[in-house]
Structure 1
Amino acid sequence: MFTFTALLGAASSESTTLASQSLLTFDQNVRILVDVGWDDQFTVELLAELERLTPVIDLIVLTHATIAHLGAYAYACKKFIGFSAIPVYATLPVINMGRMATIDAYSTAWFTSTSGSGSQRSEDLIQSADIDAIFDKIHTLKFSQKLTLTGKLSSLKLTPHNAGHTLGGTLWRLQYGQEDVVYAVEWNHAGERHLSSSVLTSPDHISRPSTFILGARTGTAIRQRDDVLVTAIRRSLDRGGNVLLPTSTSARALELCHLLDAVWSERNVKAPLLFVSRVGSRTLAYARSMLEWMSPSIVREWEDKGILPFTFRTLKILSSVDDIDDYSGPKVVLASGQDLEWGVGREVFAELCNDQKSMTIFTQDADKKSLAGTILSKWASSQAANSKVVVPSYSYIQHAEQIMIRKSVPLQGEELDNYLLEERTRKALAERQLAIDLKNQSILEQEDSESEGSESEDEIEEGNGADASADIFLLTQDNDVYDYDVRTAKLARNRMFPYVPRRVRKDAYGDVIKPEDFMRAEEKVEDLPMSTRKEDDEDKGVLGLKRKWAEEREEEKSVVVPSKTVIEYKDIDVQCEITYIDYEGLADARSIEMIIPQIQPRKLILISGTSEQAGALASTLRQADIQDVYIPSNGQIVNTSMDANGYSVTLSLDFAHELKWQSVASGEYTVAQFRGKIQAIFNGDNAKKAEDLENLIDEPAPVQDLVASPLLTKHDMAVASSQTRPLFVGDVRLAELRRRLMTEGHYAEFRGEGVLLIDGHVAVRKLESGNIVIEGGVSDAFYSVRKSVYSFLARIV
């Protein structure tokens, strides 16, 4: 049995938020939460249902590294009892980029309440160190890596697949018994500069799932999208204005940064190109370490040019809005926070929006209640056609209001002194505890191997290894100099400085070595004379003759500037030109209408987007023979269980050994066939005899065909076996059949859709149901073709 519940993100008439949370329930006792998204206003009431369900959630999987898909994860771990103990799975880019998106958003966000109970600064509740620790606990999976769990989830199989749209973006395949569920809310059928296309473009990977959960929010098919965007930017620069592109911190920003930097370099554009984000440098450092998740073409490009990944020639990375003033004249600014609610986008917009020569280009959808959503709604109202037109429209809208800007300001004076004092105290306490823990560990490890001759029996009785260092106290600490009071130590071994010697690290091959210790002198960048370096090597990031990139990147990650959040209220009058150019990287409606019927899902659930979008898409897909299409609302439970009268069977080992098992689906499954009569069903302690099964089956003790495995253990069923006719199991792909027949000396060609003609006399036809029909007169060719078809199938007797 399978049911789906959209906690957040169902298609609706208002579609006020892009946040996504979905609950997948198998057999009423296995519950999987897909995504822990939040709106860009961080409204606490939206998480009420998630908090209520926390005790029954067994597993969490994440799809994309955006606030809409994981923004509430860190908050829930801190606030909801038991939530942090739920196992979570995601790809490495989703973990690292999601970490950056959360840190950037929480740095200035306020957790708001619509009930009037006030709001709370996120930094008062969750610090960056907390976010790092929370995301470090997420389990990592690779694309196509099949995960089989244990215990209660032993019957569940998880497989992540590439979704496109974002780096590491995932669509999930969940298999439980007869249920085969695919969750694909945001994906892209087209490859991009740094991303490969979704696995859905190849139906061979995913076909005929029992339930397909699809996002109705689609992209726009814009031809020559890059040129359209660059033309819009030049429109403002040529008249002396600035250009603002609000974008997501660690998702779509990578694509825009790479595109614009390449255009600036090729066309020698003089206007400054800036990417402003509090975590921009760290985000790019993560991206450089995850090349295996990117498109092979961009990796080859970097290798051919001999440059470091995401090392920009013209793009400058800034961490503060104040740094923008260092660049004069017209400029292009990419700012984090596509909804203008968090990040630096809101602050930059307030500075640039009052100039009629300037332009703000929105490249992504926004929550309707956000500042960006309000502006886009007014812009769309000014258009005669749909707001997402193929050719972008430019409009001046009338919008004035007072907005609240949350700025991160470095600490100074007495505030900085107090902060540093608190940090020193915290560090001293942490190091004291670490010293005690290390001392205790050393004592416990040495108690069994070292003699304690210097101690009397009385001393040993007074204390033990577990609390031997409990009477060591830190008196003072100044400039990393420590003074410990050991006068009251009861054990002789504690009457000394609590020093634990550094142990030599070892692995399965012996001592752990550092490769850099064995580098030749000419290989060390720091030893190269300055005369051998090019002046612009640092800017270009040329491999070989470059600065100590790894060290500098590590320094960028480790430097933390003490700061606080201050609130300013500013009146804005939007005078700049507004336009929307879709650069979100989502599959367009026409492509979805072509791809989904090829996957042939038995049942389809549409979520996200507006009711109009979902309704139009559902109507089109129903015409393509997908009849069971559901459009649930938030909180509505949809039952899409398989309409099959199937049972799980446990076979005795003796009986299982007598069956003829054969592998199908490239060895993924083994099947055998037998024919039996149901005598009784055992479900726990309750046994149902055949005469009591009137409500379950049409007749008592019917004869049914069963395909069973000795690993299925949910219910026990007593069966009486008998002989049955052979059964062929598997899938025949006509293209592969044609290649095999050609190698056997036959001439094979396709004649019409789904028909393969061999030697002009024998036809192999594949029906919509998947069955194969061989047509032709009695001849050697007919039997040869039939033999080749059988070679693709497993013959179960």
Structure 2
Amino acid sequence: MTYSFTCHLDESKNHQCGILAFENVTIMMDPAWNGNTAGFERALEFWAQLVSQTDIILLCHPTQESLGAYAALYMNFLPHFQTRIAVYATLPVANLGRVSTLDLYTSQGITGPVATNQLDLSDIDEAFDHVLTVKHSQILDLKSKFEGLTLVAHNSGYAPGGSIFCITTYSDKVIYAPRWNHTKDTILNSAAVLDITGKPSTSLMRPSTIITSTTRLGSPLPYRRRASKFKDLLREVISRNGTALIPTQIGGKLLDLLALVNDMVYEQRKYRNQSDIPIFLVSYSRGRTLTYARSMLEWLSSSVVKIWESRNNRSPFDLGPRFAIVTPEELKKTSGPKICFVSEVEKLIEDTIVASGQSEKTTIFLTEPFSDTTGSSSLLASMYSQWTKLTPTQDSRSLNIRPIAFKETVSVPACKLETLKAQDLEAFESKIRERRDEHNELLIRLRKESGVDGGLDASGVPDLHGDDDDDDDEDIPDFITATSRKANASVKPAETPIDIFINSEASAKHKMFPFHPTKVKRDDYGDVVDFSQFVPKDQLNESEKRSSTEVYDEDEDPYELEPSSKSTKKRRGDNSVKGNSNRKAENFDDVSYLETLNKPSRRIVTASNVALKCSVVAIDLSSLVDQRSMSVIWPSLKPRNVLLLAPKAAQSTVTVDALIGKVSEVTCLEFNSPASFETVIKSLDVSVDPELDQLLKWQSISDGYTIAHVVGRLVRDNAAHGDSKQPHHDKWVLRPLLNGPRLYPKVSLAIGDVKLAELKRRLLQKNHIAEFKGEGSLVIDGKVVVRKISDGETVVDGAPSQIFYEVKAAVAEMLAKV
């Protein structure tokens, strides 16, 4: 069997993906978009050719370089997704991917109440609802649909829910690992490439091909030292009454950095070193990332969760009332020391830096390398380039890092909004309504046409979790939308048409009646209960109900180590506090302001020059494997080939040279140039001829298995081959030798598992004294010791004597001879 891998890139160089093609299935890897809208319409032609031949899409990480183009592909090629294409990712990738996509598309005017709108908020949710979620190390068996195909997602250690996919067929094993980290960071465990003893994972050993990249590598310095230096620099900025701006990927490094800042604030609060520090987040998706994160703590490192439970019984993402979601304009109006996280999308970065970057007290923290070639913000790339020029390399390696002054006049596009009126507004609303109607009609028609069995999903792929789990997943609403349950309570459930015709001649047991069993919502902890059903209706009003985000306004500060002397009653009676609480609860993760028909406007972009005078400091906190570790770990898996993702010029030459010396074949891919491989070992479907089966001498071994030595001739089964629907998978028959003697070789191998308890029973029946002693050793008559080192190795130790040979013979009787 042959297979190929291609890195595809469109003409605008803004859209790319990987295509792994076997003979009977084509898999698309990480459909990416860097956010540049140039040539967006022509890019759909590029994607149309790829989507038409794709059967499966794999999303590895919740970042735009892994799923930036996914939602647009789903909406533009809906028939392919509804009838044929299955999309797989972990739950954090599916949830945080919504947030990353929302920020990216809103920044570029694809989503939101703007004239260039192409997708609604519901369209993004619908796209990610189509994703089939898998767990790490879960075996996804697709052999029934794609002959021999099996998928397994392993933890990558790069982002929450990030995965290394192991793709296995009958004859090949391909490991896809574009980004991974072999060490533990603040909230994530290390990649599952190595086991707990530091040895290569057996499930990933001896792959046909490893697909990875050396374009971005991590720092060789320990992560704990880098994190400690990051907190020291933050304290220094805050002590000078300054502002710390931290650009980060909303679905990637944000949660890790937020946990670091939370830990720093807790330490300062513990030792009373400093007053409370306001922490802000600038993001189009507001606080949805944190809402999702609190519901996915089981995907994080268990140690960090235990640490925060021992501190204040909260998660590392609960920062108390000092945390707020702001816009760049609101951030500019705040004074005093503060820490602000900014979603790493072009427009938000530019607006936030323009609003706060004209003060010398502002310091911009670059926590990962930025360059124009990686699709990063041009402004951040310019800052990082200047910092690398002015900072010696040896200082960076020794963590002797100091902020540098950034005083330049930069050209930044200024975006103004002009509200649509009169005819423009009517035309826009008409276009949106028409688009929605067409989408709904197409969706209904596709679902009617794709009538499949209950055990298959819309794409024809077997259900991952069984009937019960599938029903539960459909019944459990999204965590964020659960708060709107009361608003939907008045909606009547859809009535399912039922055939109530009863044949009068049918027997009594066949006469059925309509029955709808009540479905109970369940999660990992038991039944999901809506406690509002136990509260009298007259008490269910807005002033009495608490939202999921009101936890921030409790009297007890999450960092308070002593009992508070404040009066609870007075605080709850304070109208100003209550008003702020309601505003925060309303706006924390509410993105309804991005609804398409919510005061639509037109974007007017003009170039403006802004004089920046701030400070810049760069410290690499990216969760990526370093050069030396990669050149050691990948060869330890003993792969046949290593493919390095395009472009070739961006690869690390030092790492490539190290891999070439340890791996048989290393290939640096170029864009749109496929790399094909021929399977070296071919699997055969062999059956034993009935005549030969009668000559076999079967012997029983442990766990109910039997074994026999066989000698015969292998011939093609022409009858089965002619009837096979898949002629490329040959069938063979093992038949007896024609004229040769039917002799078998002498016994040369003993197979089986020695059970020490069974051996003790047999020796006791022969009047020997057999007893267990320390470390799993069986002592017979005080002279011979039988030790079981492993499942396949047993040692009989003792001086040559009659009892020694009796014990040896008893052990041999428990094994099969072949």
How does the TM-score come out when normalised to structure 2?
Answer: 0.67
Query: What count of residue pairs does the alignment treat as equivalent?
Result: 668
Which of 355, 359, 379 lines up with 2:359 in the alignment? 355
Going from structure 1 to structure 2, the CA distance change for 1:232 and 1:742 (only over 3 Å counts) comes to same
Offset of 1:84 from its aligned partner? 2.7
Which of 187, 210, 213 lines up with 2:211 in the alignment? 213
Q: What do you get for the CA RMSD once the two structures are aligned?
A: 5.6
C-alpha distance in structure 1 between counterparts of 2:124 and 2:736, whole Å: 58
Which of 323, 327, 345 lines up with 2:330 in the alignment? 323
Offset of 1:148 from its aligned partner? 0.9
In structure 1, the residue matched to 2:518 is 506
In structure 2, the residue matched to 1:496 is none
Which of 12, 26, 29 lines up with 2:24 in the alignment? 29
In structure 1, the residue matched to 2:730 is 715
Structure 2 letter corresponding to 1:560: S
Find out whether 1:334 has 2:341 as its counterpart: yes
C-alpha distance in structure 2 between counterparts of 1:20 and 1:590, whole Å: 28
1:589-644 residue CA offsets vs partner (Å, 9 max, x unmatched): 22223322332223222226874644321222343x32222211122222344423
1:465-523 residue CA offsets vs partner (Å, 9 max, x unmatched): xxxxxxxxxxxxxxxxxxxxxxxxxxxxxxxxxxxxxx98713899x9945268699xx
In structure 2, the residue matched to 1:491 is none
Residues 142-151 or 308-317, more deviating: 308-317
SS at match of 1:95: helix
Offset of 1:299 from its aligned partner? 2.0
Superposed, which structure 2 residues align to 1:130-141 within 5 Å? 130-141=123-134
C-alpha distance in structure 2 between counterparts of 1:720 and 1:126, whole Å: 63
In structure 1, the residue matched to 2:74 is 77
Residues 300-309 or 776-785, more deviating: 776-785
Offset of 1:188 from its aligned partner? 1.4
Going from structure 1 to structure 2, the CA distance change for 1:716 and 1:96 (only over 3 Å counts) comes to same
SS at match of 1:153: coil
How does the TM-score come out when normalised to structure 1?
Answer: 0.69
In structure 2, the residue matched to 1:265 is 266
Which of 304, 308, 313 lines up with 2:310 in the alignment? 304
SS at match of 2:340: strand
Going from structure 1 to structure 2, the CA distance change for 1:514 and 1:729 (only over 3 Å counts) comes to same
Superposed, which structure 2 residues align to 1:239-638 within 5 Å? 239-268=240-269, 269-270=274-275, 271-309=277-315, 310-313=317-320, 315-337=322-344, 340-342=345-347, 344-368=348-372, 370-371=377-378, 372-385=380-393, 389-391=397-399, 392=401, 394-397=403-406, 399-406=408-415, 442=495, 444-445=497-498, 448=501, 506-507=518-519, 514=529, 516=531, 536-537=554-555, 540=558, 556-557=588-589, 560-561=592-593, 562=598, 564=601, 566-569=603-606, 570-607=608-645, 611=649, 613-623=651-661, 625-638=662-675
Going from structure 1 to structure 2, the CA distance change for 1:107 and 1:795 (only over 3 Å counts) comes to farther
Going from structure 1 to structure 2, the CA distance change for 1:649 and 1:560 (only over 3 Å counts) comes to same
C-alpha distance in structure 1 between counterparts of 2:407 and 2:8, whole Å: 32
Going from structure 1 to structure 2, the CA distance change for 1:619 and 1:17 (only over 3 Å counts) comes to farther
1:661-698 residue CA offsets vs partner (Å, 9 max, x unmatched): 9999x99x99987554343375997799xxxxxxxxxx
Could you tell me whether the CA contact under 8 Å between 2:167 and 2:174 is conserved in 1? yes
C-alpha distance in structure 2 between counterparts of 1:405 and 1:47, whole Å: 28
1:538-596 residue CA offsets vs partner (Å, 9 max, x unmatched): 75399xx9999999979855561235463443322343222221112112122223322
Going from structure 1 to structure 2, the CA distance change for 1:650 and 1:423 (only over 3 Å counts) comes to same
Offset of 1:70 from its aligned partner? 0.2
In structure 2, the residue matched to 1:231 is 232
In structure 2, the residue matched to 1:38 is 33
Going from structure 1 to structure 2, the CA distance change for 1:612 and 1:354 (only over 3 Å counts) comes to same
Offset of 1:67 from its aligned partner? 0.4
Going from structure 1 to structure 2, the CA distance change for 1:398 and 1:526 (only over 3 Å counts) comes to closer
Which of 761, 776, 779 lines up with 1:743 in the alignment? 776
Could you tell me whether the CA contact under 8 Å between 1:17 and 1:367 is conserved in 2? no
SS at match of 1:283: helix
Structure 2 letter corresponding to 1:38: W
SS at match of 1:317: strand
Offset of 1:161 from its aligned partner? 0.9
Q: Identify unmatched segments of 5+ residues in structure 1.
A: 11-15, 113-119, 451-502, 689-710, 732-738, 747-758, 766-770
Could you tell me whether the CA contact under 8 Å between 1:106 and 1:123 is conserved in 2? no
Structure 1 letter corresponding to 2:393: A
Going from structure 1 to structure 2, the CA distance change for 1:70 and 1:670 (only over 3 Å counts) comes to farther
In structure 1, the residue matched to 2:136 is 143
Could you tell me whether the CA contact under 8 Å between 1:214 and 1:607 is conserved in 2? yes
Offset of 1:3 from its aligned partner? 3.3
Identity percentage over the alignment? 23
C-alpha distance in structure 2 between counterparts of 1:550 and 1:714, whole Å: 65
In structure 2, the residue matched to 1:696 is none
In structure 1, the residue matched to 2:102 is 103
C-alpha distance in structure 1 between counterparts of 2:717 and 2:428, whole Å: 70
Could you tell me whether the CA contact under 8 Å between 1:180 and 1:211 is conserved in 2? yes
C-alpha distance in structure 2 between counterparts of 1:362 and 1:402, whole Å: 20
C-alpha distance in structure 1 between counterparts of 2:641 and 2:492, whole Å: 61
Q: Identify unmatched segments of 5+ residues in structure 2.
A: 449-490, 504-514, 561-567, 573-577, 738-743, 754-771
Could you tell me whether the CA contact under 8 Å between 1:17 and 1:368 is conserved in 2? no
Offset of 1:298 from its aligned partner? 2.1
Structure 1 letter corresponding to 2:681: A
Could you tell me whether the CA contact under 8 Å between 1:9 and 1:608 is conserved in 2? no
Offset of 1:140 from its aligned partner? 0.9
Could you tell me whether the CA contact under 8 Å between 1:261 and 1:313 is conserved in 2? no
Residues 162-171 or 234-243, more deviating: 234-243
Offset of 1:395 from its aligned partner? 3.3
SS at match of 2:281: strand
In structure 1, the residue matched to 2:457 is none
Going from structure 1 to structure 2, the CA distance change for 1:720 and 1:585 (only over 3 Å counts) comes to same
C-alpha distance in structure 2 between counterparts of 1:181 and 1:151, whole Å: 20
SS at match of 1:229: helix
C-alpha distance in structure 2 between counterparts of 1:444 and 1:62, whole Å: 38
Going from structure 1 to structure 2, the CA distance change for 1:643 and 1:412 (only over 3 Å counts) comes to closer
Which of 696, 701, 715 lines up with 1:679 in the alignment? 715
Superposed, which structure 2 residues align to 1:158-197 within 5 Å? 158-197=151-190
